[in-house]
Amino acid sequence: MDVTLVEGAVSSQEDAARLRTVRARSRVVAALGDCAVTGNVPSMRNSIPVARILQRIYIEGADVSRVIPSAGVPPLLPQARPPHEFIKVDVHLPGCPPQPKAILALLDDLLHGRIAKPTEIKFG
């Protein structure tokens, strides 16, 4: 692929594996939106152990089957992290969501080869 847009944080082992595959098959990877740029909302769980999250959702919060699923649910990573902590990300477009004009400008730049170097990320 020439360009891959990645949105969202990496929350599971399955997410991380897919992301590595995407990077290997893409010329340019762009992180689209605050969750992909910084981890944003998904990373709010990072201070809570995964076992406690699953207990709260599937046992304490359940009305019926009070069982933590094991089949068909990818194991969660200890923390939700932005894609650039797993792979090289060439371009970061922040926003929650990014403005439509910014997305269009990014796509136009990428399609015309105007993104030549990785963008810098500034936090805070």
Antiparallel, parallel or unpaired: β 28-32 and 91-93: parallel
Residue 59 belongs to some domain of the structure: yes
Domain count, the chain: 1
Q: Tell me the C-alpha distance between 82 and 24, whole Å.
A: 17
Per-residue pLDDT in tens (0 to 9) along the chain, 124 residues: 889 999 999 999 999 999 999 999 999 999 999 999 999 999 999 999 999 999 999 999 998 889 998 888 889 999 999 999 999 999 999 999 999 998 998 888 888 888 755 555 555 4
**pTM across the whole model:** 0.84
Is 7 domain-assigned?
yes
In a domain, 119, yes or no: no
| In a domain? residue 116 | no
Q: Reduce the DSSP state of residue 3 to 3 states and report it.
A: strand
Residue 107 belongs to a domain:
yes
Task: Note whether residue 123 is domain-resident.
Answer: no
Query: What confidence score (pLDDT) does residue 124 get?
Result: 47
User: 90 in a domain, yes or no?
Assistant: yes
34 occurs within a structural domain: yes
The pLDDT of residue 111: 84
Sign of CA dihedral 4, 81, 14, 58: negative
3-state SS string for 20-74:
HHHHHHCCEEEEECHHHHHCCHHHHHCCCCHHHHHHHHHHHCCCCCCCCCCCCCC
| CATH of residue 58 | 3.40.50.700
Quote the CA–CA distance of 53 and 11 in Å, as a whole number.
13
Q: Which domain holds residue 100?
A: 3-111
Predicted pLDDT at 121: 54
pLDDT of residue 117: 53
Q: What was the pLDDT predicted at 122?
A: 55
